[in-house]
Amino acid sequence: MDSIIVTGGGELDGQIPIAGAKNACLTLMPATLLSEEPLTLTNAPRLSDIKTMTELLSSLGAEVSSLQGGKVLAMSSHNLNNHTAHYDIVRKMRASNLVLGPMLARLGHAIVSLPGGCAIGARPMDLHIDALEALGAEIELKDGYLHAQAPGGLKGATHELRFASVGATENTVMAATLAKGTTVLKNAAREPEIVDLVRCLRKMGAQIDGEGTSTITIQGVDRLGGATHQVVTDRIELGTYMLAPAIAGGTVECLGGRIELVQAFCEKLDQCGISVEETEAGLKVSRKNGRIRAIDVVTEVFPGFPTDLQAQMMALLCTADGTSVLEEKIFENRFMHAPELVRMGAEIDVQGGLATVHGVDRLKGAPVMATDLRASVSLILAGLAAEGETIVSRVYHLDRGYEQVVRKFSGVGAKIERVQLK
Catalytic residue among 118, 200, 266, 272: 118
Helix/strand/coil percent split, the chain, to 5: 35, 30, 35
d(CA 105, CA 347): 51
Q: Using CA atoms of 233, 234, 239, 243 in order, give the dihedral in degrees to the nearest 10.
A: -90
Pick the closest to residue 8 from 311, 270, 392, 334 (CA basis). Answer: 392
For 146, half-sphere exposure in the C-beta direction (CA atoms, 13 angstrom radius) is 29
Residue ranges at the known binding site for phosphoenolpyruvate: 22-23
Pick the closest to residue 302 from 11, 24, 77 (CA basis). Answer: 24
d(CA 244, CA 414): 9
Q: Return the ∠ at Cα 38 (arms to 33 and 41), rounded to 5°.
A: 90
DSSP 384-406: HHEESEEEEE-GGGGGGT-TTHH
d(CA 387, CA 383): 8
Based on the residue annotation, tell me whether 254 is a catalytic residue of this protein: no
Residue ranges at the known binding site for UDP-N-acetyl-alpha-D-glucosamine: 94, 123-127, 308, 330
Q: Is the peptide bond before 303 cis (omega within 30 degrees of 0)?
A: yes
Residue ranges at the known binding site: 22-23, 94, 123-127, 308, 330
- Burial environment of residue 285 by CB neighbours within 10 A (0 to 12, 13 to 18, 19 or more): buried
Residues involved in catalysis: 118
